[in-house]
Structure 1
């Protein structure tokens, strides 16, 4: 039973998480501890987090798309593969112990932060692509599987891989990341809902905060571009690394 006073508090937390997530990803690392501390069981916390994240990401995606920053048609096939991967991940997480991932993922996040810090490609200028949209699809599907199964850092993984492999500038990569991230969230919400793992009233309340945060965050990212997104990506990756390692060794 969630105490009534927690609804506005968690909605406020969702606003902050939605703002950060629209720019650099990592909102789940803010939401999940807040839900667990509030007494929400782990699987219900995952499902409810995906619901509010889906709504916040949709608003950010729509804002980026309205400015012409998302190439919808060339990336539709990848989005469908991301959807399938996330659905598979959401099924697996309900039956598999995620403790091994809890140790591996911080190392990947740390490597991701180092890449963002030192790579000369991390600007707003498009570069030569190393993979086509079709070639990137399996990468997107693997990240989608991870998002449905575990989740933290998904936005950072999408963004940095789109820059490194598809040659996107950082702002365009962040925009396309929201399309893929929204797709994986939809798949996860459907699977968690079928399993009865979504707290709908709480999720709807938090979605209001997430949508407001997503709107403000996406407009802020488009205004300031790579000079804001890059340091936030590094900060988010390092913070997620520290948080996940703390949770792993404190358990």
Structure 2
């Protein structure tokens, strides 16, 4: 039934748990799962598609955990999530039309900039600040841009969401993380809908990894809600820098 051997499946399940934990706190779980899927024998497109399956479970679990903790109101944010869903589909379908390789070269620079922002910006905590964009403009511009990128490539999408929520929407770190997980879920769902048509995901393996993602995301979201910015900020900086270094390594 599974697309891999039992031993490889155990490795992928373990990777799913760790990725779920990291993703729920700071994003960047794909740093773990995509390479492991490639090692398991998936081609790059299948690895990305399967990653969306298992990531869907983790982001959904994290979003629900944050909602239960009162950090995001799902009822008031569903329209924004719908925008992210369809924008992600558009991004995935544009993969053959846009200069993806050029984007890959620019990504490490952008990610390092985001890491520097969160590492050095004073006053970044769990307290909201003045917003620079109204919710309507934010939903109409920033959200579809981030979601389309998530569908197009994916790595670093959570960092872009976080930067936007903190820098433009004025959210505190914990609230920004909660809203990022909701939109990650929506854009994962959109990208998966597109990949289901144009790719061949490992459905059963992805579902098994998704169950592990649920467990990891519950632990990660619980820790983030207890510790807030104290744990989210350093892990966000670490995962963003690590992702930038991996992208540079892939380009060499």
The change in CA–CA distance for 1:122 and 1:197 in structure 2 (over 3 A counts) is: farther
1:104 equivalent to 2:106? Answer: yes
Once superposed, what is the RMSD of the aligned Cα atoms? 1.4
Q: How many residues align structurally?
A: 249
For 2:124 and 2:232, the matched residues in 1 are separated by 9
Q: Which moved more, 1:96-105 or 1:109-118?
A: 96-105
* Corresponding position of 2:127: 125
After TM superposition, the runs of 4+ consecutive aligned structure 1 residues lying more than 6 A away are: none
Q: Structure 2, unaligned stretches of length 5 or more?
A: none
Q: Give 1:224-239 correspondences, 5 Å limit.
A: 224-239=227-242
* 1:36, distance to aligned residue in structure 2 (A): 0.8
Task: List per-residue Cα deviations over 1:169-191 (Å, max 9, x = no partner).
Answer: 10010001011000001111111
The change in CA–CA distance for 1:95 and 1:33 in structure 2 (over 3 A counts) is: farther
Q: Which moved more, 1:196-205 or 1:214-223?
A: 196-205
Q: Give 1:57-72 correspondences, 5 Å limit.
A: 57-72=59-74
1:154 equivalent to 2:149? Answer: no
* Corresponding position of 1:201: 204
For 1:144 and 1:49, the matched residues in 2 are separated by 16
* Corresponding position of 1:27: 29
Task: List per-residue Cα deviations over 1:90-112 (Å, max 9, x = no partner).
Answer: 11236666322221111110000
Q: What's the TM-score, normalizing by structure 1?
A: 0.95
For 1:95 and 1:30, the matched residues in 2 are separated by 28
1:219 equivalent to 2:222? Answer: yes
Q: Which moved more, 1:93-102 or 1:155-164?
A: 93-102
* Corresponding position of 1:210: 213
For 2:155 and 2:31, the matched residues in 1 are separated by 6
* Corresponding position of 1:84: 86
Q: Structure 1, unaligned stretches of length 5 or more?
A: none
For 1:94 and 1:2, the matched residues in 2 are separated by 29
For 2:15 and 2:170, the matched residues in 1 are separated by 34
For 2:136 and 2:80, the matched residues in 1 are separated by 7
Task: List per-residue Cα deviations over 1:47-85 (Å, max 9, x = no partner).
Answer: 100000000111111000011110334433322221121
